Structure 1
Amino acid sequence: MMDPIVATASGQVRGATRNSIYVFKGIPYGASTAGRGRFLPPQKPEPWSGVRDALRYGASSPQPEGGLGVMLSLSGGAEPEPLSEDCLYLNVWTPALNDGGKRPVMFWCHGGGFTMGSGSAGFYEGTNLARRGDAVVVTVNHRLGALGYCYLGELAGEEYAASGNVGMLDLVAALEWVRDNIAAFGGDPGNVTIFGESGGGAKVSILMAMPDAQGLFHRAIIQSGPALRVSPRAKATHRAEKLLRELEIAPGDVERLRDIPIERLFEANARINPNALAGWGPVMDGVVIPNQPFDPVAPAISANVPLLIGTNKDEITLFTLADTGLATLDEAGLHARVSQFAGARADELIAAYRDAQPQGTPANIYTAIGSDRMMRINSITLAERKYAQGAAPVYMYLFTWETPILNGRLKSTHALEIPFVFDNLAYAVGFTGGSGPELQGIADAMSEAWLAFARTGAPGPNWPAYTPEERATMIFNRESRVEHDPAGPQRQAWGDMLINGFSE
């Protein structure tokens, strides 16, 4: 079989064929962001003559040392690729080319907060999903960390007004590429679903509130990543000032910041942000992101976009593996931990979770509370605010299957659902502890539901839309089922506490 060649707006690309699916890797959707492009909105890629090979993933955005390796090891590995400011690349998996097909397009935003990750992780390989659903799958790299979210608008002038959100504008540019080119890859530019997990879910939340993204997607899926809020300008400016001070650069001397070697930038960033996943993220700058995404209400500009949203039962366990005090946690320690964020309502919150787990250890109770605090409560809040618009349906899920690895310590942890959604269990044996018919049944149910939602805006006839009255939630496990208001008393115990999650 001859190598597939497709003409894009910038030039022709040559892909490969894998298991009857056409695969194109490392297609540029934007120019390099190095040098004069640093901190500025993305530009169109330079056109090329002849045929460009699209056989290897493109470079990933520079990120904390070791960060990409950690993210890729958690998500099935990937082909080793460099880190570079020339990182605006995307990948396409499709069953057919130039056939006039109107296949749903599934546009994946990778996880890793806003500072780590890549669209080339093994979990995200799109062959199985594209073949199963006769769909086109797209994954994308974009700017991360300070390169994508350092807000210089109030320090360096109007030219840098968008600097706090250029990483999100990269995603808009990739969606514009999809709009302009995906028909040649057999996809329908009028039926694009944006979906993502963790930081990727937060990116989906924020794209729903961005005027520049309006009309570029038609459905949205948020997996364990509800972003109700982003950083206000004052906080983002303070963050940028800290970086400039660490680099000994005057606020007005942005040329030095733009020209400084990337290694020095990351060394300074590590000193002011020791937590690799924290520190940088989108900014409510009044232009690119004019309002808080889902606070106090859902964004009007995406009111007509159907939403599928959900979480995993034990989100926090991935992040508490190194918590040496958790195994010996006692009741006093549990109360002290919960009081840090619940204040005077700690006793009420602990009691509600204790009622659901009367034999649970303090560590079990903390895991349940911490997991809901981390993702589930905000996901419910986001769903309620989306429902209140009355313009498009909302669907809720809860993933509860538990992995046996590490003697069961991870339970139903953060990111565990991804290989099931992508039908990529072969990449996930180290995470799932195995494969086989039982796990494949979960993958069948999840991937088919995601594909049905991408195709029609509804995940299937046996999955009712979410309402505050019924709270229908699809529980994904060995036998999936709809449950109304799962863990309702625990949900009610949170009351009106707003837990910002990814936001600030």
Structure 2
Amino acid sequence: MSKKLLSTMMLVLGAMVGQAQPLLKTQVESGAVAGVLEGSVAVYKAIPYAAAPVGDLRWKAPQPAKPWKGVLKAEDVAKWPPQPEKSYVKYDMMSEDCLYLSVVTPAKSTKEALPVMVFIHGGAFRTEHYGGDLWQSLASKGVVTVSVEYRAGALGFMAHADLAKEADGHSGNYGILDQIFALQWVQRNIKNFGGDPSKVTIFGESAGATSCHVLCASPLAKGLFRACISESGAMMSPTSVVNQQVAQMYGSMFMNQMKKNSIAEMRQTDAKDLTGNDNSFQLCMPIVDGYVIPEPVYALYHKGSYNDVPVLIMHNSDEGAVEYDSVSVEQYEQFFRQLPAQWADSAKALYPGATAEERLFSLRDVTRDIGFGWPAYAWATSQKQTGKSPVYVAYLAQKSDTTVYAKGNRRGAAHADDIMYLKGAFDGKADRFPQEKKVSDLMQQYWVNFAKTGGNPNGNGLPKWPVFEPDKITVMQFNNGATLIPVLNQQRIHFIDRFMTFVRTGK
């Protein structure tokens, strides 16, 4: 073979290899950015989508990110938002400059117009970090994935009357405003990663799932996404409704606790002092402020006043396994003493506690049903009644010894177990974890199909998943595969539904 022919072949081969590479450098509105290659996808681990919310920007709506010169190398995730320290996160790993997002793309050009999945992490609106889940496994199946950081704790959710004076009468919900700002950034910039801004699906877990529900309810998020996936979180309970007046009272109490006399002094306080103690600020949650959330979410759904998009709603079989390792007689009795007398005996009959095992499983189950099962049911049934978009419901029951968060004596999937199935934790481990690998593959393909189609999880080779009907066998259970079941724990769920009506109406 001549040297000239060999040289030509090498050039052609080099060009082909170059074409096979995903986008490792692109442009966003603030400047050029470079990612890293991980397998078949390009990963941009930390792109600022807003200005650092520090100084005078603390407790204000997010502002545009400052432009930079040269190429920003997005090779490492950003620091964690300020929060209480844990064994795996210390304060030197945190920064109030936290409004970053990641982008993972399989696209090889900016013209591919791939569907986009935007993830919002959990952590009770107080803790955790976007960088743990960048979703390379989902992206490798033909979607662009984005993971968003937002302000947490007092920095993200403190309301105060003086802050309301600065912002047309509303305060709090800064963490939700961050999420909306990030989705707006996605609309303006995701084309440059090969994504299609008209094909955005939001998905979240725990507080991130609740955030997704808030975004479905908020007029400020209208048009920013076309579908939603919720994993263990919704905002339907009347016990979680806090209006701005009450929230501002909590903010005033917190200022007094911090021994500060003004918002100006609070803005000069070290972020660690504001967020570093689990008991420092009690109201870390979205509030009904008349702006981000105009009315209680349940009321908005009841009247059909929400962003009516296709939804996939899931919760797990043993959510409460992260809360209880054992339950004493006094713990059990104390839990049910919180209920009005006319409800307590009926509740105890549904959640018995004659033995230590019964008490443990009952408190785990009531935690699941009140916190996750009933809210999922209420969301699904109310949207079926007042919406037009399809609703799909899932139940994760796969037990695995690899779970991270759960305590012992488990019966199924604990809170947050869904994350490991969706992130591909069992890839390359099918020989040791065949059932987990099967569930992981099924869930990922259903989720990706839902994003690609804009609201239908079905596809070739998958068990048929029908639209949710409360009285039919339409819930997809993930346990050693995927099979259809009716709504589980119906007697308990219907009891809680009646109780929630009583809380709202007194009847």
Q: Same fold by TM-score, threshold 0.5 exceeded?
A: yes
Partner of 2:434: 437
In 2, the alpha carbon distance for the partners of 1:380 and 1:36 equals 42
Identity percentage over the alignment?
29
In 1, the alpha carbon distance for the partners of 2:126 and 2:331 equals 32
Partner of 1:152: 160
Normalising to structure 2: TM-score of the pair? 0.85
In 1, the alpha carbon distance for the partners of 2:113 and 2:266 equals 45
In 2, the alpha carbon distance for the partners of 1:284 and 1:261 equals 28
8 Å CA contact 1:304, 1:391 repeated in 2: yes
Q: Which residue identity is paired with 2:448?
A: L
**Secondary structure at the counterpart of residue 491 of structure 2:** helix
Q: Which residue identity is paired with 1:195?
A: F
1:107 deviates by 0.3
Paired residues for 1:82-231 under 5 Å: 82-121=93-132, 124-132=133-141, 134-153=142-161, 157-159=165-167, 161-228=169-236, 229-231=240-242
In 2, the alpha carbon distance for the partners of 1:341 and 1:396 equals 29
In 2, the alpha carbon distance for the partners of 1:495 and 1:30 equals 40
**How many residue pairs are counted as aligned between the two chains?**
471
Partner of 2:283: 279
Larger radius of gyration: 2
> Which digits, 9 at most, give the CA deviation of each residue in 1:288-343, with x for residues without a partner?
2211223362574544300111110111110113xx5x1xx45x864553342364
1:402 deviates by 1.7
User: Does 396-405 or 84-93 show the bigger shift?
Assistant: 396-405
List runs of 5+ in structure 2 lacking aligned partners. Answer: 1-17, 503-507
In 2, the alpha carbon distance for the partners of 1:118 and 1:81 equals 14
Partner of 2:419: 418
1:371 deviates by 1.7
**Cα distance, 1:423–1:301 mapped onto 2, change above 3 Å:** farther
In 1, the alpha carbon distance for the partners of 2:155 and 2:490 equals 41
Structure 2 residue aligned with 1:366, among 363, 366, 371?
Answer: 363
Structure 1 residue aligned with 2:445, among 439, 445, 448?
Answer: 448
**Secondary structure at the counterpart of residue 98 of structure 1:** coil
**Cα distance, 1:426–1:238 mapped onto 2, change above 3 Å:** farther
1:34 deviates by 0.6
Partner of 1:291: 295
8 Å CA contact 1:354, 1:360 repeated in 2: no
In 1, the alpha carbon distance for the partners of 2:75 and 2:331 equals 53
CA RMSD, Structure 1 to Structure 2 (Å): 3.0
Q: Which residue identity is paired with 1:29?
A: Y
1:346 deviates by 3.0
1:163 deviates by 3.5
Normalising to structure 1: TM-score of the pair? 0.86
In 1, the alpha carbon distance for the partners of 2:256 and 2:351 equals 45
Partner of 2:29: 9
Structure 2 residue aligned with 1:30, among 32, 44, 50?
Answer: 50
Q: Which has the higher contact order (CA 8 A, sep 6+)?
A: 1
Structure 2 residue aligned with 1:380, among 367, 377, 380?
Answer: 377
8 Å CA contact 1:61, 1:85 repeated in 2: yes
Paired residues for 1:421-500 under 5 Å: 421-425=422-426, 435-456=432-453, 457-460=455-458, 462-470=464-472, 472-498=474-500
**Cα distance, 1:138–1:452 mapped onto 2, change above 3 Å:** same
**Secondary structure at the counterpart of residue 245 of structure 2:** helix
Find out whether 1:262 has 2:292 as its counterpart.
no
Partner of 1:305: 309
8 Å CA contact 1:152, 1:160 repeated in 2: no
1:65 deviates by 2.2
1:279 deviates by 2.7
Q: Which residue identity is paired with 2:393?
A: M
List runs of 5+ in structure 1 lacking aligned partners. Answer: 71-79
**Cα distance, 1:343–1:182 mapped onto 2, change above 3 Å:** farther
Q: Which residue identity is paired with 1:377?
A: W
1:192 deviates by 0.5
**Cα distance, 1:404–1:344 mapped onto 2, change above 3 Å:** farther
8 Å CA contact 1:41, 1:162 repeated in 2: no
**Secondary structure at the counterpart of residue 85 of structure 1:** coil
